[in-house]
Amino acid sequence: MHVFLDANICLDLLDTTRPTSARSVSWYMKHKDDSALRFYFSGDFITTFYYVLSERRKIDKQKVVTAIDALCFEVQPFYINHNDFLQAKDAFGNHKLEDFEDLLILHSALRCGCDSFLTNDTQLLTLKSFETMQIEGV
């Protein structure tokens, strides 16, 4: 089973002071050694992780890079491509989800072959699924 971690889940793993971090870390620690699971996240969020942690949270920049590197070792980065953009663009305005960025990430996760999309985003959680992929919370 392939599980795509939303940016908010990855930020919870990188910054344990976030309000939702304890749940996310607990879920990940419980499942990370399950050989039936493979974990992915959008590599396109790496710059966002770096900015949020180093500039907003004022965490030492080298520690941030080291933490992101550790995340990439355990959770495979998967990058958005132009086709993901085109599919999200076509769905934008025609889908009950009105967040273009979420549509872009969801299409990327589908292309990655993910069965499950893990998030703390309440709007995404109300969908319960996106095409063939389940949307789940921690």
Each residue's pLDDT tens digit, 118-138: 999 999 999 999 999 999 999
Which residue shows structure tokens 């939702």? Answer: 20
- Domain segments of the chain as ranges: 2-136
pLDDT of res. 2: 98
Topology adopted by domain 2-136: Rossmann fold (3.40.50)
125 contact partners, CB below 8 Å, separation of at least 6: 119, 135, 136, 137
Each residue's pLDDT tens digit, 78-109: 999 999 999 999 999 887 788 999 999 999 99
Higher pLDDT among residues 41 and 91, named by residue: 41
Q: Is the pLDDT of residue 32 over 80?
A: yes
In the chain, the N- to C-terminal Cα span, in Å, equals: 16
Burial tier of 95 (Cβ tally within 10 Å: 0-12, 13-18, 19+): middle
**130: which strand partners?**
133
